[in-house]
Amino acid sequence: LVTVGLLASCASQRDSRQDIATVLHVVDGDTIVVKLQGETETIRLLGIDTPETVHPTKPVECFGPEASAFTKATLKNGSTVRLVRDNEPRDRYQRLLVYLYLDDGTMFNQILIDRGFARTLSIEPNTAFASIFADHESSARERRVGLWQSCER
């Protein structure tokens, strides 16, 4: 809890590019469609990668359905979330790149790592939490939770 609170505090101080959005639907474990300032936006969670379930050229990956189901169960349609951007606002697919915070202040990106639904994915220049996420991934691996128990890599 201390780390999550610290992450929320650091994000607030580091980046004033924050918005409140409404979840419209979950595409997969790390991609969500939201209503943001009256516009529909597809967002991609920064610093993580969940196993594929809907990629047009890749098969469904081990633990992908579980990661997608967890994201859908947590980010219910109509729920309110806080989005915080890092340095580069969009990816090559024009998805908005964000750290997503739940209404209780916890960072959802980190929850996915902690529970073994995601691996870390560090891509410059959006690396504000890369070392923290790496530490949390190491812990999830050691505890053999989620994909670290079910999938060989």
Domains of the chain (ranges, CATH numbers)? 2-142 (2.40.50.90)
Q: Is 52 part of the annotated catalytic residue set?
A: yes
Task: Please answer whether residues 108 and 34 qualify as being in contact, where contact means their C-beta atoms are separated by less than 8 angstroms.
Answer: no
Q: Is 143 part of the annotated catalytic residue set?
A: no
Q: Is 44 part of the annotated catalytic residue set?
A: yes
**Digit-coded pLDDT (tens) for 53-73:** 988 888 999 999 999 999 999
Cα–Cα distance for residue pair 146/153, rounded to 1 Å = 13
**Digit-coded pLDDT (tens) for 7-58:** 544 444 444 589 999 999 999 999 999 999 999 999 999 999 999 998 888 8
- The one catalytic residue in 44, 82, 85, 119 is 44
pTM score: 0.87
